[in-house]
Amino acid sequence: MHDIRNATIKSIVTEDFRAAAIFEKHSLDFCCNGGITIERACAQRNVDARVVFTELEQLGNAGRDTMPKFTEWPLDELVQYIINVHHKYVREALPVIFAHTQKVATVHGANHPEVVEIARHFHIVAGEMQSHMMKEENILFPYIIALVKAKRHGVAAHRPPFGTAQNPIRMMEAEHQAAGAEMYAIRSLSANYTYPEDACTTYRVSYQELQQFELDLHQHVHLENNILFPKAIDLEKELLGMGEQVEA
């Protein structure tokens, strides 16, 4: 692992995906706000940075080779992986978690008002994620795949109707930030997904599902924000010479 004291947390995860689990454990955001050092991220979350450094150092090399090396994948394969794994999971999980959070809010809202707020936040996430993934799959991802194919086959790449990839990417990053903030609100309202003693099965299951959803969202957004998007911007510059940002 490179110099973890001066590196950004997103670059640490990009280089070694095993670090994601450690950052998750300490609520350190490596996907949307990962452009800062461990020390700074820990100060923001009131976490002892020494504990994080120790845990990262203890990772050693065990299991390192079994993790997918996403940074080495061709971008069209990475896009397909994101759709097949993360978009598929989100589409399956959204209606289930939505139904559970609504039910818990109806049944337990009087005694635990936070579950009403949690259902409201998840409703927002559900709506945002559906349209977000449609935009990626219908606009940005096909353009990235077209760039990859142009380079692979040595043919000319065409300028997109949206000016440059940086325009939809900026929008996607803002939407990631918004979804991440909603899930962080849910995490805070639920005291890190800790259910009360009197929680029924649906209540417990909904908290486990929300936690799993947030974990998947972080990995999903990491692949897009920290690997796919910067590489797509570089590829576009290489093929079309778009060095400067163009406003839509």
Residues that bind Fe ion (CB under 5 A): 136, 224
Nearer Cβ to Fe ion, position 118 or 228?
A: 228
The encoded tokens of residue 61 equal 């090399």
As measured in angstroms, the least distance from the Cβ of 87 to Fe ion is 6
First to last CA, the chain: 39
Nearer Cβ to Fe ion, position 103 or 135?
A: 135
As measured in angstroms, the least distance from the Cβ of 2 to Fe ion is 27
Nearer Cβ to Fe ion, position 18 or 87?
A: 87
Nearer Cβ to Fe ion, position 29 or 136?
A: 136
State the Cα–Cα distance between residues 208 and 193, nearest whole angstrom: 7
CA 109 to chain centre: 29
Q: For tokens 């992986």, what's the residue?
A: 81
The encoded tokens of residue 241 equal 């010479």
As measured in angstroms, the least distance from the Cβ of 20 to Fe ion is 16
The encoded tokens of residue 26 equal 């300490």
As measured in angstroms, the least distance from the Cβ of 104 to Fe ion is 27
> Do 15 and 1 form a contact (C-beta atoms < 8 A)?
yes
Nearer Cβ to Fe ion, position 136 or 236?
A: 136
As measured in angstroms, the least distance from the Cβ of 38 to Fe ion is 25
State the Cα–Cα distance between residues 113 and 102, nearest whole angstrom: 13
Phi-psi region of 192 (alpha: psi -120 to 50; beta: other; left: phi over 0): left
